[in-house]
Amino acid sequence: MSISLYGRSLLTLLDYSPEEIRYLLDLSKKVKNEAKKGKVFKRFEGKTLALLFEKRSTRTRCAFETAFGEEGGHPVFLSTQDIQLGGKESLEDTARVLGRMFSAIQFRGFKQETAEILAKYSNVPVYNGLTDLYHPTQALADILTLEESFGDAKGKKLCYIGDGRNNVASSLMIICAKLGINFTVITPEELNPDNELQQKCGALAKISGAVIKVTSDINAVKDADALYTDVWTSMGEEEKKEQRVKLLSPYQVNQNLMDKTGKRDTIFLHCLPAVKGEEVTADVIDGARSKAWDQAENRKHTIKAVMLATLKK
């Protein structure tokens, strides 16, 4: 089957078929391989990318900016200090104008709806670089990292421990459900993933053969090939910090939890930034089984693949 993603936005992986996700992962591997061989191309020459940020970022901004710029493209960073984003001018109007000047737009911010409006009115591809709901480019890098350790990830068991309803957990559930990767969310009931999303993923899992589970029992890490965690308090939820620490302290990923998998080759994953001593101990994230740094690097390769697939015919 020939796949073309030319002109497409990436707002959520729910919009992408398993074959399209596979295509992006394979292209990411190719792009990474080229980079390792020191091959430099000019595939974004003459193109421009608007990088809109309502929330802070290290990896996502740097991945988009370097991946685009090193191939001859011109990225422009615009924070809410610099640009009208539903401020003086309507979001629709900003989108229309950006669409006349840029080949594509990356948006990181609060509402998923903002990314949707940007895509609708700009008529150029819009990439979701994280919203309150989803973090799709992160999930691509996560699965690339999983595949680097285990080859085919289908049938592997990935356990996400922590805030089960955040953007990272949601995007992971979607990609695992689509690709047939067994996914267990270990979280206190108060932080269970959104019901509607669980239903959608349940239906996708029936097709792919993935087993998707949600539980509050940390013993569910048994036989996991990868343990994944994220911060307990996401950006924009700072006032919940104290409550989250109380609720999630039993869900810290430490050596004891790594040992509970019963597997010697379980890897540790984290999207970063990490709060060492909260969701993960320093010995685990800085230890031999941690792939967090490969994961961070893989953000760049996967993001370059997404831009190549959607901007080049």
Q: How far is the CB of 129 from ligand CP (least distance, A)?
A: 7
Q: Decide: helix, strand or coil at residue 240.
A: helix
Write out the residues near ligand NVA by the rule CB under 6 A: 130, 166-168, 230-231, 234-235, 271
Among 36, 25, 33, CA closest to 139: 25
Q: Which of 230, 244, 252, 301 is catalytic?
A: 230
105 binds ligand CP (CB under 6 A): no
> What residue 58 binds from ligand NVA, ligand CP, none (CB within 5 to 8 A, per partner kind)?
ligand CP
Are 35 and 301 within 8 A, CB to CB? yes
Report the 10 Å Cβ neighbour count for 255.
Answer: 12
Tally Cβ neighbours within 10 Å of residue 312: 11
Q: CA-to-CA distance for 48 and 197, rounded, in angstroms? A: 34
Catalytic (active site) residue 271: yes
Backbone angles phi, psi at 269, to 5 degrees: -125, 145
DSSP labels for 103-116?
SEEEEESS-HHHHH
Residue 171 buriedness (CB in 10 A; 0-12 / 13-18 / 19+): buried
Number of H helices, E strands in the chain: 11, 9
Q: Per CB under 6 A, does 306 bind ligand CP?
A: no
Query: Which residue in 159, 176, 201, 271 is the catalytic one?
Result: 271
Is-catalytic flag, 165?
no
One of 4, 33, 58, 256 touching ligand CP (CB under 6 A): 58
| 108 counts as catalytic | yes
Cα(59)–Cα(73) distance, integer angstroms: 18
Closest distance of CB 250 from ligand CP, Å: 24
Any contact of residue 67 with ligand CP (CB under 6 A)?
no
Least distance CB 271 / ligand CP (angstroms): 4
Segment near ligand CP (CB under 6 A); pick from 19-27, 41-49, 54-62, 257-265: 54-62
User: In the annotation, is 62 catalytic?
Assistant: no
Q: Per-residue contact track with ligand CP, 270 to 299, x per CB under 6 A?
A: -xxx--------------------------
Q: Among 45-53, 56-64, 176-184, 281-289, which window interacts with ligand CP (CB under 6 A)?
A: 56-64
Catalytic residues: 108, 135, 138, 230, 271, 299
